[in-house]
Homo-oligomer: A and B are copies of this chain.
Amino acid sequence: MKKLTLKDVAKQLGVSTATISNAFNRPDQLSANKRTEILEACKEIGYTGPNRAAQILRKGQSNIVALVLADSLDYMVTDPVANTFIQGVSRVLRENQKHLLLYAGDSDTITDVVDFVDGFICYGAPRNGALSTQLNQQSKPVVTVDFNLENRPAINIDNEKASYEIAKAALRPGDRAAILGLRLIDSPSTCRIYDSPLLDAESSITHRRLDGYCRALKETGIEVATDWIWNLPENAGMYAVQAAREVLQSSPRPDVILCMSDIIALELLQCALTMGIDIPGELRITGFDGIEEAARTRPYMATVCQSSVEKGMEAAKLLLSGDNTSMSLPYEIKLGETI
């Protein structure tokens, strides 16, 4: 009861393997009659079509696209932003009969998939920096999202500008301002950055955000102090809670806290409210991303809204199109009630 092959079928039908193959893949290579005749015969004897594994080898194309997430899947799948992004990607892939392979950005290497996937969508700078190099050196198409890779098309929003704008809206002259940042430096836990060297400053969106914040601070006449900037290794609640406590317990307490993600901002808000701090009277807070929960808080969060679903869809479309042109998506500043 072995599985049927093209050869078996060809023998049974008294034609060559090429003809069967053509019947499935290149209708223009044989008469319509013969084609339907063959396809029906195949259905009858139970041949469901060319073996995909063989096809992948021969054609050098698998219809599988790898989605490289910045961190371990463990975490990324839970992040609402990443989540909706995946949604967008999967929708477009599905429409184009492509398959989605989830790949962790903290992996050691991509050699175990590069030979068979058709391309990569890279969401955020991979935690393992070596992956970026590997991705760039191989020849399959790559689309990057929320970070940049030399000579590869990228999908972004203007993070610097957006951050500048939301910060500008939140800041008043004379404010004490803190920043809760994300992946700015290489550290396994939440901490202030002080003089730590900044991480791959060029490619990361969070550095663009920092730039935007700093520009707004300077323009408002506020000095940027690195001991007022925290760094979180990941965009997860547990790191945010810790940062929130630290920053809220520092004295004097800041008047404004700029958060590089909504997850961080929400946790901070929760914490502040628990401590009985009046928002925005005693403390103003801004987030980033525009996740659904941010619209449901009371007072509701000032943040930068971007559509992750759309980002995902555009990324997938871009990859499939083979185009090489980067693109900047729109965003929207939501002033909310926290500033």
* Binary contact track A66-102/B, C-beta < 8 Å → 1, others 0: 0000001110011000011011001100100101111
- Within 32-80 of A, Cβ neighbours of B (below 8 Å) are at 48-49, 51-54, 56-57, 60, 62-64, 72-74, 77-78
The reply to whether A53 and B57 contact each other, CB–CB distance below 8 Å, is: yes
The reply to whether B103 and A102 contact each other, CB–CB distance below 8 Å, is: no
> Which of A62, A99, A101, A103 has the most CB atoms of chain B within a 10 A radius of its CB?
A99
What B residues does A112 contact at CB under 8 A? 52, 63, 97, 99
Q: Is A130 an interface residue (CB 8 A)?
A: no
> How many Å lie between the Cα of A111 and that of B49 in the bound state?
8
Chain B residue with Cβ nearest A90: B73
> How many Å lie between the Cα of A87 and that of B236 in the bound state?
14
For residue A50, give the distance in angstroms from its CB to the closest CB of chain B.
Answer: 9
Q: Is A113 an interface residue (CB 8 A)?
A: yes
* Binary contact track A98-118/B, C-beta < 8 Å → 1, others 0: 011111100000011111100
What B residues does A53 contact at CB under 8 A? 53, 56-57, 60, 62, 115-116
User: How many of chain A's residues have a CB under 8 angstroms from any CB in B?
Assistant: 37
What B residues does A54 contact at CB under 8 A? 57, 115
What B residues does A63 contact at CB under 8 A? 112
The reply to whether B104 and A102 contact each other, CB–CB distance below 8 Å, is: no
**Which of B83, B94, B111 is the one whose CB lies under 8 Å from A78?**
B83
> How many Å lie between the Cα of A63 and that of B112 in the bound state?
9
**Which of B51, B94, B113 is the one whose CB lies under 8 Å from A73?**
B94
What B residues does A115 contact at CB under 8 A? 51-54
Chain B residue with Cβ nearest A79: B83
**Which of B74, B90, B102, B116 is the one whose CB lies under 8 Å from A52?**
B116
> How many Å lie between the Cα of A48 and that of B113 in the bound state?
12
The reply to whether B77 and A90 contact each other, CB–CB distance below 8 Å, is: yes
The reply to whether B72 and A94 contact each other, CB–CB distance below 8 Å, is: yes
The reply to whether A101 and B99 contact each other, CB–CB distance below 8 Å, is: yes
What B residues does A113 contact at CB under 8 A? 52, 99
> Which of A83, A100, A115 has the most CB atoms of chain B within a 10 A radius of its CB?
A115
The reply to whether B86 and A77 contact each other, CB–CB distance below 8 Å, is: yes
> How many Å lie between the Cα of A101 and that of B112 in the bound state?
14
> How many Å lie between the Cα of A140 and that of B99 in the bound state?
19
For residue A235, give the distance in angstroms from its CB to the closest CB of chain B.
Answer: 15
> How many Å lie between the Cα of A54 and that of B57 in the bound state?
6
What B residues does A101 contact at CB under 8 A? 64, 99-102
What B residues does A100 contact at CB under 8 A? 73, 101-102
The reply to whether A56 and B116 contact each other, CB–CB distance below 8 Å, is: yes
> How many Å lie between the Cα of A7 and that of B66 in the bound state?
28
- Contacts A/B (CB < 8 Å), 11 sampled: A48-B111, A52-B113, A52-B114, A54-B57, A62-B116, A63-B112, A73-B94, A83-B83, A90-B102, A94-B104, A97-B112
Known: A52-B115, A56-B116. 20 other contacts (CB 8 A): A49-B111, A52-B114, A52-B116, A53-B57, A53-B62, A53-B115, A56-B56, A57-B57, A72-B94, A73-B86, A73-B90, A73-B94, A73-B100, A74-B87, A74-B91, A78-B84, A90-B104, A97-B112, A100-B102, A102-B102
